[in-house]
Structure formats: C-alpha cells, structure tokens
Chain A
C-alpha cells in the first residue's frame, strides 16, 4: 500500500498500462482480425460506397464500399509486421556494424564508422525511397528499405554501448582470467550491450510503422487494394472534402499505435537508466 502511495509517477504507470493495452489489442488484431470484425477487407460493394460512420460500418466505407474499420483492423497485421521485421533487419545490421566497429580493430572501426556516417548523410526516408526506387514498390521492399534506413542510427548507439561494455571492469576481468574472446563476446559483451538497446527496439517499431505508412502513402509501399494504413490515407486524401472518415481513421491508427510504441519505449528507456 505504502509503495503505491509513494510511487513518484502514478500517471506514467497508467500510461504504460494504456500503451501495453493498445499494443496488445494490435497484436490480437494482427493475429486474429476476426475477433474484431466479420467483414472482409477486400469486400467490394460499390452500391455502399462513401457511407459515413454508422452502426455496421463504425468507420464508414470507402470509394468501393469496403468497410474502413475492417481495413484498419486488417491493416494492423501489415503495419506491425513491417514495424517488427524492419526493426529486426535494422538491428541485425546494426549489431554487425556496431560490433565490428567496437572490437575488430582500428581499421575496421574506421571503415565501419565512415560507412555509418555516409549512411547518416542521407535522411532515413530518402535512403528508404532510394531503395524502393531501385527494388520496386511492395510491402517487402518497403520493409527492407525501412530496416536499412534505421540501421545506421542503431549501429552508432550499439557501437557506443559495446565500447562501454568492453572497457568495463567485468570485461577486463574476463581478459585477465584468460577467457577466450568469443566466450567474452557471448557471455559479457553481447548481453550488456543489447539489454539497454531493448528499449530502442520498442521505440524503433513505432518509428518503422510511421515510415512504412509514409512509403505507402507516397505510393511506393503496399500495392492496392492491400489494406495498409498509409495506402488507405493516400487513397482517402482524394476524397477528403467529401469523405473525411477515409483519411481520419487510418491516420488515427498510425498515430495511436506509433505513439503507444514510442511512449512505451521511452518508459523502458528511463527504467533501464535507473
């Protein structure tokens, strides 16, 4: 009881809970969309086009009479998958680059650091656009593009963490104890480098969802008629003066999910510092 009363940031706990609930609902929607809706995301009914939000069509219908709520729900799967896979790609690349930088000698550090700096010179979205322009539009190119674009940011942070870990007392101890470098890397350096990065992953997923939506919005991500939030925003924009619900709800979904992932990531980050 007293623990609850003396808690410093009661709202942060409520906030975290909300974030977890939102993300949990998203995962549920991504895995079992049928829990939320019985309609089909590609079910075209031209006679029911442009219906405003109402009972039966909570978020209204689009230009082809498809239910916007159903499409937003099914869009969760695409968005979360892009967010998770892109972050995994970015992280994997970053771990390699970061560790090469930190442990493989000065020349490797120089080369890897310059590579990261060159990649940094391009704004992330430009880098992603470049990749999609070369690879062609689609969900997978967009996912890889976002992964590639986020890698340099992670790489720099991982390099910093890895250097801290390498210079730490326990790492030196392990050298003195004659532990082999591979064992040292596996038992000490990797866990101590990656644990603080975990919060970054949560933040990164939010970021990746926004970027993937941006790519689809620009017409280089998900291909029609796939239910994807960015693509839905783009399609709805044409009808913004007559059918606001076509842009409002997919836009709100991006904002809510990205905000939840970002806020949760921040909170995790603060805890890891304590």
Chain B
C-alpha cells in the first residue's frame, strides 16, 4: 500500500469523475423525439424496465408475497379475476362467479381454451392445486396465504367449474383473488421443486420468464398463446417481443439511465423528477395510487415505551409531518389521516387526532412518568425514552427517509430519542421478527378494506408460514377483533361499511399508527414507449399492449 498523492488521486478521482459524469447525464441529455401515440403499434422490439424495488428472492409470488414480486409476476401470471380503477371486479381467468346465499360457497366458471406456457390447460383442478399450494406451510406464503385463510377447500366440480368452500362468509374473497399474490400458475409446474419454480414460474400472462441473472435482470419474452380476458388486458399476443427487467436500486442512477435512453421505464423515481415530468417534456409521469394501507408509522404496542397509550399519543402529537410532506415530495403526495389508502372508498380520515401540540405531548409524557434528563431525552426507571425505527432502504425512497429524520428532530423536542436504523430488506425483516423495533413503516398493499383485518386483528401478530406477521403495531383488542370479524363476514353492505369505519376509528383513537401519506406507484416512461398501462388490481405496470419505436 502506498501512501502518496497518487493513492489519493487514484482513489478520489474515479469517484469525482463518476459524480461529474452523472451530473452531465442528469443535466445535458434529453430523450429522442416521441411519435404520436395514435400511430399504429410496432410489433417486436425490446423494452427495458428498471425497478427500484428490491430484487425478489423468488419469482413465484405465492412464496412470501411482496410488492417487488407483484410488479414482476403481473407480466407472466394472471389471477382468476381483475379489478378496474373504480374497484369493480371483472373476469380474467374466471369468466363468471356466483356466491351462494349463505356466503359459504363460491362457484367460478373458468374460461376455456386457456393454456399455460408449458402447454398444460387451465382447469378447475389447476385452481384447486394453486389454493392448496398457497395454503401449504412448505410454500412459506404470507400475502397470498393471508388472503385465502377462509377457503377451507376447492372442489373441481367439472373441467371448468371450481367451487370454493369457505369456513365463514368472506366479503373480501373476490378482491383477494384479484391480487398478483393469488395468481394462478401451472399445476404441473408447481409440482417441481420450489427452487425451480422460483426461477421460472409458469403462467398464462402476456410474457413468460426465460432467464434470471441474479442482481442484474430478469428476461421476459412474449407468450405466443396469450389470450387476454378483455381489451383492458391487451388486444391479443403482446407487441413487444422481449422485456428486460433490470434491478437498479439507486434512484439517481435509474433516472440517469432513463434520461440517457438506456432504459425505457422506471419506477420509484424521486418526487422532484416526477414533478418536473408532470410539467411536460419527453418523459411522461404515470401516477398509480396503491390500494390497501396508507404509508404510516406503526407504533409497537407490545413493549415499552409504546405499550402506554399516553406515550403513543405524545409521539403522534409531537411529530411534525406536514411541512416535510410538502417540501420533500414536491407536491406529488398528500398527507393521510387514515389507516387506509385514499383510493379505498371506505377510507376513514380524522385529521383532528393528529394536530401537532408539543405542550400536550409534554404533559402526556409527564403524566406517564417520563422525566426530562440532562441531555433533553426523557427517562423512566433508568430507561431512556428511545424509539428504534428500522428503515428498509429497499422500500423507503430517500424522501421518506428524510421525512423520518424530520420526525426524529421534532419529537426530540419533547424528549424522544429516535434511533433510525437503515437496513437492507432481509435485516429489516429479521428486526421485525425479533421484535427489535418500536416504530416501523411497512405499507401493506391489498385490495379492499379487508387489509384492516390483516393489519390489526390480534391473530395478525402470529407469523404466517413465511415468518412474516402483518400486525406491526401488535394491537390486541378483543372488541376490535369482533368488529373486524363483522366487516369480513358480513354480506350486508351497510353493515360491512359501518364495521370498516368503526375498526378504523378504533385504530386511530388508540394512536396505534401515525398516518403519513398515501401509498402510490410512480412510473416515468420514456418517449420511445407507447401503450403503457396500469393494471388496477394493485397498480402494477402492464405491457400487454405496449410497443416501442424502432
């Protein structure tokens, strides 16, 4: 090792050069001239998609079940039913369905002539095999598993007639089955080893998986036998012959790649770049709100300090959120005061609970016995008022991480010491599993208000087969459980809606969460791309009808 000017130059210069190159890329490049979207589609061509979401461990969304898997698998798998932007359930692999009068039997009629990319046909037995796969503990499913807990069995009545037997009525069943995590795969492929199925799951979607280079990309090619259920899901076989799905975790690199034309579509862009794309120019911004929960901090009620409602309320009252939402997100998101995403028609908001009041917060902490120490941090029985906040750097964009820093600074004024721990996805999961957190942000995407049952029912503290549990606030309240049960089983719309509202009020009044802003997907689309659409089930991108200029 040489300690010389040369060492310094060789170490420092490449970094400086890279920074300069990135700066030039960001400032100087502009996209190629776009063709008008009414010109006729070009067949063939490759589209490059760059995602900022984590690379999945498994391409089969039955296993685990996170959002990165949903983004990818929507390209090669189809669920039984779909969902429109207004929330209507529409046919996909099932062409019709009928719920029995007691709500405990649901009959699905499948489309005929649908084949998987391994040549096998879609039958009722395939649907049965898929539900059993989701429910098998060896699959280690969480999202898909939690969505079908009420399905006790599936009966193949005839080739294209599958009957779902439920343990109790499930008002959310169709919404659950529209999710990518409950999509239907080839039963023959599911009999392979999990490793094999994770690398190349087999579906009926517009594309199929051909290769996966770890930490780089997944290559998808056109499925020549794709038959869309309706015009919303494409006009026939896809125009694109190939999609290269790249993993570029760094948001500035992703944006620079889009600007330079190296990639065609990116997700998770920085809010400032969305704001400038929305003003016009060669790059188009597409905003797609996600259903399910809002982005919120969940306060861990299972242990001190947040097992005391007064401390939770003090935290919520001391957290200054709104100015950060305005400045960090460049006007692309709105403050939320609800457990649910605002695209959920039954979302209930109550902003009055979340008015900042430092004096109220201090009073509450005094009452709870937390005394201010010499460094401004409160203590009680020798314990500091520390709030550990693990942050998944794969899931939180930098703007959100900055928002957490602002909350950290504002609650410090009343004596909280927030420890932000930036972690990669697997360390973050293990921090949750070890109960090594006091607050956490883990947005949950699910269609419909049934997400409340998953997030706030007492049994949500019990890990799913994957090891993941969804009730991070660890709220255990028998009366809330019964309200959630009512919301989930009631077939009477008015009764269901009232129960959904009651459940949200209970969660908000308990100060179990600090709602921050709506979950929203943002995509930036380069000028070469046409026909880019959103699949409104959980707002994943759809390339079934897309094409690119040559």
| A contact residues vs B (CB 8 Å cutoff) | 42-44, 46-47, 49-50, 63-65, 120, 124, 137, 150, 152-153, 156, 200, 203-204, 206-207, 210, 214, 219, 223-225, 235, 237-242, 244, 247, 251, 254-255, 258-259, 262-263, 265-266
The 8 nearest A-B residue pairs measured at CB = A153-B1, A46-B323, A44-B409, A203-B3, A49-B327, A241-B26, A238-B398, A225-B405
Complex Cα spacing A258 to B270, Å: 32
**A47-B323, A239-B272 known; A255 vs B3 contact (CB < 8 Å):** no
With A64-B328, A241-B252 given, name 16 new contacts (CB 8 A): A42-B409, A43-B409, A44-B405, A44-B410, A46-B327, A49-B328, A50-B327, A137-B422, A150-B1, A153-B1, A153-B2, A153-B3, A224-B422, A238-B398, A258-B8, A258-B12
Say yes or no: B422 contacts A219, CB within 8 Å.
yes
Complex Cα spacing A50 to B406, Å: 14
Complex Cα spacing A240 to B12, Å: 19
Of chain A, the residue at the smallest CB distance from B324 is: A46
**A63-B327, A63-B328, A255-B12 known; A223 vs B398 contact (CB < 8 Å):** no
**A44-B410, A238-B270, A241-B27 known; A207 vs B8 contact (CB < 8 Å):** yes
Say yes or no: B402 contacts A63, CB within 8 Å.
yes
Say yes or no: B5 contacts A262, CB within 8 Å.
yes
User: Is B420 an interface residue when CB atoms closer than 8 A count as contact?
Assistant: yes
Say yes or no: A237 contacts B252, CB within 8 Å.
yes
Say yes or no: A242 contacts B8, CB within 8 Å.
no
Interchain Cβ contacts under 8 Å between A and B, 19 examples:
A44-B406, A44-B409, A46-B326, A46-B328, A49-B328, A63-B327, A63-B402, A152-B1, A153-B1, A203-B4, A210-B8, A223-B420, A238-B398, A240-B252, A241-B272, A242-B272, A251-B16, A258-B8, A259-B8
Most buried by A among B4, B273, B320: B4
Which of B5, B328, B422 contacts A223 (CB under 8 A)? B422
Q: Inter-chain contact count A-B, CB under 8 Å?
A: 105
| B contact residues vs A (CB 8 Å cutoff) | 1-5, 7-8, 11-12, 15-16, 19, 22-23, 26-27, 251-252, 270, 272-273, 320, 323-324, 326-328, 393, 398-399, 401-402, 405-406, 408-410, 419-422
**A137-B422, A219-B422 known; A207 vs B324 contact (CB < 8 Å):** no
Complex Cα spacing A242 to B19, Å: 14
Complex Cα spacing A247 to B398, Å: 15
Complex Cα spacing A240 to B393, Å: 19
Of chain A, the residue at the smallest CB distance from B15 is: A214
Complex Cα spacing A22 to B119, Å: 72
Say yes or no: B328 contacts A238, CB within 8 Å.
no
CB-CB under 8 A from A258, the residues of chain B are 8, 12
Of chain B, the residue at the smallest CB distance from A64 is: B406
Say yes or no: B405 contacts A224, CB within 8 Å.
yes
CB-CB under 8 A from A204, the residues of chain B are 3
Complex Cα spacing A224 to B389, Å: 12
